[in-house]
Amino acid sequence: MQRYSFLSLARHALSGHRKWPRALVSSGLKPAYDAVIVGGGGHGLATAYFLASRHGMRRIAVLEKGAIGQGNSGRNTQVVRSDYFHLVSSRFFERSLRLYEGLSRELNFNIMLSQRGKVDLAHSPHAMETLRRSVNAIRMNGVDAEMLGVDELRRLEPALNVNCRYPVEGGAVQWRGGIARHDAVVWAFARAASALGVDIVQGCEVTGLRLEGGRIAGLETTLGEVAAPRVCLAVAGHSSELARKAGLALPIVSQALQAMVTEPVKPLLRTVLLSPQIHVYLSQSDRGEIVIGGGSDIHNSYAQRGGLPAFEANAAAAVELFPCLSRLRVMRQWAGLVDITPDTSPIMGLTPIEGLFLSAGWGTGGYKAIPAGGETMAWTIANDRPHELITAFGLERFARGALVDEGAASGVAH
């Protein structure tokens, strides 16, 4: 793998940047692997990278039905943060944010992490109380968070309409929260995994799972059969459909979650700003576009488009908070298929089928979890037992009733 550095940039400038090697080697499908990851999104690729880099496994494949990053990992609004309420979530997401902070160096790829602060707004005294409780819990968990008064919010975001229909009473901020470039994260993991010998097979849809004596033996794909004693499903909105092929019923619904960007403008928004009550969140991209997201469409769907009612609600909410956006044109709107669990926490770890692992249920907030998700799933696959950071997120919690309700932390998609 060609290392990216100032020197290599200068050297390649001499040949007009025509001699850069391919960032990713395309692979064909081999008949057998030690581990196969299904799904070339951030979670699948990160899991493969950590399996190869930390556990010395070499015969690994990532099978992706389309092109890497064309699922939710390349369609999200890029928010990273670790301000979760429950200790188990907090420890996991804080580990992820820490990994994000060193990821450009680890993977030798600029993921454009911008820790500009992620602000939650409160529009009533009750919401302020809830935010205070949440900030206290987050700080008790050892994660940074603080309350903001209306005057501080005015200074931070001068264009914010604090006197909107439900006037802003205050807010809370995690300063280490922010955004990181989603395509870069996908490509950074893919390139680093490929350099370690992982086969990344694109255009390869998994159509069936082969079981022998209650354990996984291999997969059927559109490119033929493949044998593997360890298989991890990391297919987001397609998790329940694929798991059903192995007789597993998952407590997951798939819904379209949409976002949009406006035409670019000069710097207007400093932070990532989120209003759970008005139901919208916004940030400004490096190109100047205002990135707007909100809740998911209310019906289950496998269409990566999103419907007009949610689109209209997101636009109206954004204009409510920032009236100056009203005359901006929307340049693009799209959706991804999010895999939502009853407690809005992920499902990670082993399944009742030996050798079959799950990284699913990431719902509206799994982008921020990609580094720690990959790290802990790789450990779990290599050791055949759940990593200590994810024991609370196992599939069996739904049978035991030990849910990790993070509905408030992921109340607005982010």
Ligand X SMILES: Cc1cc2nc3c(=O)[nH]c(=O)nc-3n(C[C@H](O)[C@H](O)[C@H](O)COP(=O)(O)OP(=O)(O)OC[C@H]3O[C@@H](n4cnc5c(N)ncnc54)[C@H](O)[C@@H]3O)c2cc1C
Which is nearer to ligand X, 41 or 386 (by Cβ)? 41
From the list 101-109, 165-173, 254-262, 312-320, the region that binds ligand X by CB under 6 A is 254-262
Q: Which among 387, 389, 384 is positioned nearest to 404, based on CA atoms?
A: 389
Which is nearer to ligand X, 84 or 379 (by Cβ)? 84
Could you say which of 195, 235, 282, 412 contacts ligand X (CB under 6 A)?
A: 235
Which is nearer to ligand X, 75 or 279 (by Cβ)? 75
Which run of H or E residues covers position 243?
helix 239-244
Q: How far is the CB of 291 from ligand X (least distance, A)?
A: 9
Residue 252, classed as helix, strand or coil, is coil
Residue type, 336: G
How many residues line the site for ligand X (CB under 6 A)? 41
Does 254 contact ligand X by CB under 6 A? no
From the list 133-141, 195-203, 252-260, 307-315, the region that binds ligand X by CB under 6 A is 252-260
Does 293 contact ligand X by CB under 6 A? yes
Question: What is the distance between the alpha carbons of residues 119 and 327, in angstroms, rounded to a whole number?
Answer: 24
Q: Which among 78, 133, 44, 123 is positioned nearest to 289, based on CA atoms?
A: 78
Q: What are phi and psi of 284, to 5 degrees?
A: -115, 130
Cα separations (Å) of 362 from 28, 181, 252, 410? 29, 18, 10, 11
Could you say which of 39, 178, 218, 394 contacts ligand X (CB under 6 A)?
A: 39
From the list 12-20, 59-67, 140-148, 396-404, the region that binds ligand X by CB under 6 A is 59-67
Strands (E), 140-264: 146-148, 170-174, 178-179, 199-202, 206-212, 215-221, 224-227, 231-233, 253-262
Question: What is the distance between the alpha carbons of residues 107 and 104, in angstroms, rounded to a whole number?
Answer: 5
Does 77 contact ligand X by CB under 6 A? yes
Which is nearer to ligand X, 39 or 355 (by Cβ)? 39
From the list 50-58, 144-152, 192-200, 366-374, the region that binds ligand X by CB under 6 A is 366-374
Which is nearer to ligand X, 113 or 235 (by Cβ)? 235
Question: What is the distance between the alpha carbons of residues 48 and 42, in angstroms, rounded to a whole number?
Answer: 10
Could you say which of 121, 259, 321, 328 contacts ligand X (CB under 6 A)?
A: 259
Which is nearer to ligand X, 169 or 182 (by Cβ)? 182
Q: Which of residues 192-211 bind ligand X (CB under 6 A)?
A: 205-206
Question: What is the distance between the alpha carbons of residues 294 and 275, in angstroms, rounded to a whole number?
Answer: 9
Could you say which of 11, 32, 66, 142 contacts ligand X (CB under 6 A)?
A: 66
Q: Where are the alpha helices (DSSP H) in 108-207?
A: 125-140, 150-156, 182-195
Does 283 contact ligand X by CB under 6 A? no
Does 228 contact ligand X by CB under 6 A? no
Does 413 contact ligand X by CB under 6 A? yes
Q: How far is the CB of 345 from ligand X (least distance, A)?
A: 12
Could you say which of 35, 53, 64, 340 contacts ligand X (CB under 6 A)?
A: 64
Q: How far is the CB of 254 from ligand X (least distance, A)?
A: 10
Question: What is the distance between the alpha carbons of residues 237 and 231, in angstroms, rounded to a whole number?
Answer: 18
From the list 51-59, 107-115, 164-172, 233-241, the region that binds ligand X by CB under 6 A is 233-241
Is the distance from CB of 236 to CB of 42 less than 8 angstroms?
no
Residue 241 makes CB contacts below 8 A (sequence gap 6+) with none
Question: What is the distance between the alpha carbons of residues 386 and 81, in angstroms, rounded to a whole number?
Answer: 23
Residue 208, classed as helix, strand or coil, is strand
- What is the rounded radius of gyration, in angstroms, for the C-alpha atoms of the chain? 21
Does 318 contact ligand X by CB under 6 A? no
Q: Which residues bind ligand X (CB under 6 A)?
A: 38-44, 63-66, 70-73, 75-79, 205-206, 234-236, 238, 242, 257-259, 293, 336, 338, 362, 364-368, 413-414
